[in-house]
Structure 1
């Protein structure tokens, strides 16, 4: 039995029966057959179905957003944005997928040669709770467009969202078993995932989640020589150089850290500021954080809702307390909020440095770590002093200088004078312990295809 909890109140939302081994086997049989059949559907027909999916998303927006908010505590306006972004992504691939998947001629004297992007079959997806819809759709839409099927193992605390996604694809007219959600009892998840990866009916696997889970999935895929994509943790740097517009940078920093109540792998987490404007930046940043409205996520004025689970709040408190003990200073916040639900004060720590949990670890919640750099070289050194490499944001009055500095810091994406975000038009993914492989754009559409060479003589 799986129970979902409203993180704003701590009360039970729903209970679900876990699938038996026989039921899981039946789902795999049905999904594998559906994927094989779908792969033979012409590309144009597959892409036309995405237009129906986008319409279904928009038509179901209110109900979907309410479910996301109930299950993981996402502020309602952000939940609505998650639905909208998913619809935009479906529309993007409906429009651009044909060109991305088209055969590519290769000039070779005396023969006709080309490269084709062909379906590979059924793809297993292990997905997290923090973006219950968008995280799945940004993988599933291009994977389906490429002619594959999807077997979804979602986080148990968003089981309702997982089942809603399955229904969504059916309502849009996709084959009944092409996208299936697995409901697995938590203690059985590791063994179930490993067995599925080893199953010949599973062509590849993708995971978004913790480094621990990613290591297990990547190792299991490696043992059976299957393709895997891992989108893991992040501790993104937000670098503010001395020539930056400090007012704009501080306002952007509040958005960059506290969207989704700070529960995002691409939220900026480490704010590295040149000494010349550090005091002004901190003053403005802290003021902006103090103005954030913490409240029930269904209230349209709420900017920061609860954390998704109480154990996550406890982990965040441990990171804050240990960092303060190591010399960091609390500029604002730093404590759990009493009462029902899993709320935590929006928090800013100053004087942070390598060796402190808030600097070295991924902080998944409304906590920001500020570090002061002597100069731009020191800022680059601090930004790169992490095991992660997902996103990077640099603020400067000279964009070319920002690009030059970004080239010295390893990350999957670099944004100059902008907040890091995912967009269907550009690839998304990490480096170092933030994972490998790419989602979105042409790279995401081709990630789970057989890149096949054709060479025809005569």
Structure 2
């Protein structure tokens, strides 16, 4: 009997749909089909591929209403934020179509006795293992660049957003891409890891927890296959002595609570110098306690439910452990007695090393306040993490903030006096246990290509 899984609406707690999972034989056959498609797709000109990519941008916009329904119903995303995600994905496609032709163009270099051609060739099937929190964006950002490069893509999406997984494959086909150039596989996570060993899989990209990501990297390394990992973080946003508190609070509230707090590059630890701590805390608490939690379809809702009950319960365990170890709950931090997988906007202070709120990633609407003596200590605490995805600096001295961001902050991305999510024209990725490799900004286009040198000697 074929195993099944269900998608559940986190607001109503009602089952949306039941899906049959593919078995190992069927999943491996899908990889074989992706390889067969690759043999033809790699021969299509970059210009023709770009046309198809632009078609997908149009299809994404044309399907906006259905995509918003899927995001809201399957993982509780606020509808207005879903609109931003849809548009971002369309723009990523447009940017990729425009930039990839240039990024993948042959280069000529002089060598002793002749010249050399450097070319960028696709390598084959790229396996993507993707999370639920940005259910359209996470898949589009890796798949479209690799498909534009001439590879084919097979995705294992998170099981709670299988409706979106199915819709993404439908949109690729609607945009005119040949069959099997892109596929979404309804499979268990353990089977996805096993597929890395398939001889036709040439690379793997994973977004998720550092614990699972390291297992993916281990399997990829065992088979000498390249991987790109984006493993989340506990990003620090530091408020220096000369910061504009109003600007800092507005950006930090947005950075912590956007997407119901379920964002890898969210602001999570707030490190404030003594000079500003009380003023920041008062304004921060006031803004967060005024947030409205409710139906993600309502225009005036600020915070929807968390995506799954187990995720909500895990978050609460981390909060409770932090409190048991000395953190102080100054807002929220209790599971509400109501339908839906809600966790209230919450704030902890007196957060110290050894607590989950300091050491780990709290993937939900919980902010950790950390008071430090001065700017130097703020930077030290910010870097005191096994993670290194993003971060933020608030200071009136832009030159000094820039110097700290470039020379001191040990992360892949830094915001100065603001908060922003992914940008199509900038690289996205981290260091340390936040992973390696980059997406966006033209950098993702060449992550899974063969950079080949062809040397021509004068006769």
| Alignment of structure 1 residues 179-194 onto 2, 5 Å | 179-184=182-187, 186=188, 189-190=189-190, 192-194=191-193
1:275–1:372: 8 Å Cα contact kept in structure 2? yes
| Alignment of structure 1 residues 14-413 onto 2, 5 Å | 14-184=17-187, 186=188, 189-190=189-190, 192-406=191-405, 407-413=407-413
Runs of 4+ with deviation above 3 angstroms: none
2:109–2:117: 8 Å Cα contact kept in structure 1? yes
Q: Distance in 2 between matches of 1:36 and 1:239?
A: 50
1:233–1:265: 8 Å Cα contact kept in structure 2? yes
The answer to which of 21-30 and 45-54 deviates more is 21-30
Aligned length in residues: 454
Q: Distance in 1 between matches of 2:151 and 2:112?
A: 34
Q: Per-residue deviation at 1:329?
A: 1.6
Q: Distance in 1 between matches of 2:456 and 2:250?
A: 59
Q: Distance in 2 between matches of 1:419 and 1:446?
A: 28
The answer to which of 81-90 and 112-121 deviates more is 112-121
2:28–2:195: 8 Å Cα contact kept in structure 1? no
Q: Distance in 2 between matches of 1:132 and 1:194?
A: 20
1:52-72 Cα shifts (integer Å, max 9, x gaps): 010000000011111111100
1:113–1:453: 8 Å Cα contact kept in structure 2? yes
Q: Distance in 1 between matches of 2:111 and 2:444?
A: 28
The answer to which of 194-203 and 166-175 deviates more is 194-203
Q: Per-residue deviation at 1:99?
A: 1.0
1:82-112 Cα shifts (integer Å, max 9, x gaps): 1110000001111111111111221224312
Q: Distance in 2 between matches of 1:246 and 1:113?
A: 55
Q: Per-residue deviation at 1:194?
A: 3.5
1:414–1:420: 8 Å Cα contact kept in structure 2? no
1:323-362 Cα shifts (integer Å, max 9, x gaps): 1222222221111122211001100111212121111110
Q: Which residue is 1:450 aligned to?
A: 450
Q: Per-residue deviation at 1:404?
A: 2.1
Q: Distance in 1 between matches of 2:24 and 2:353?
A: 46
1:393–1:420: 8 Å Cα contact kept in structure 2? no
Q: Distance in 1 between matches of 2:193 and 2:315?
A: 30
Q: Distance in 2 between matches of 1:326 and 1:420?
A: 32
Q: Per-residue deviation at 1:420?
A: 4.2
Q: Distance in 1 between matches of 2:443 and 2:380?
A: 30
Q: Distance in 2 between matches of 1:34 and 1:302?
A: 44
1:392–1:420: 8 Å Cα contact kept in structure 2? no
1:24–1:182: 8 Å Cα contact kept in structure 2? yes
1:264–1:364: 8 Å Cα contact kept in structure 2? yes
1:266–1:420: 8 Å Cα contact kept in structure 2? no
2:149–2:449: 8 Å Cα contact kept in structure 1? yes
Q: Distance in 2 between matches of 1:351 and 1:146?
A: 49
* Secondary structure of 1:358 counterpart: helix
1:153–1:183: 8 Å Cα contact kept in structure 2? yes
Q: Per-residue deviation at 1:370?
A: 0.5
Q: Distance in 2 between matches of 1:285 and 1:220?
A: 43
Unaligned runs of 5+ in 2: none
Q: Distance in 2 between matches of 1:369 and 1:24?
A: 42
Q: Distance in 1 between matches of 2:220 and 2:201?
A: 10
The answer to which of 437-446 and 416-425 deviates more is 416-425
Q: Distance in 2 between matches of 1:221 and 1:321?
A: 36
Q: Distance in 2 between matches of 1:22 and 1:222?
A: 24
* Secondary structure of 2:415 counterpart: strand
1:383-428 Cα shifts (integer Å, max 9, x gaps): 0111100001101001111122222221011121121421111111
TM-score normalised by the chain length of structure 2: 0.97
Q: Distance in 1 between matches of 2:432 and 2:320?
A: 27
Q: Distance in 2 between matches of 1:183 and 1:10?
A: 22
Q: Per-residue deviation at 1:442?
A: 1.7
Superposed CA RMSD in Å reads 1.1
* Secondary structure of 1:320 counterpart: helix
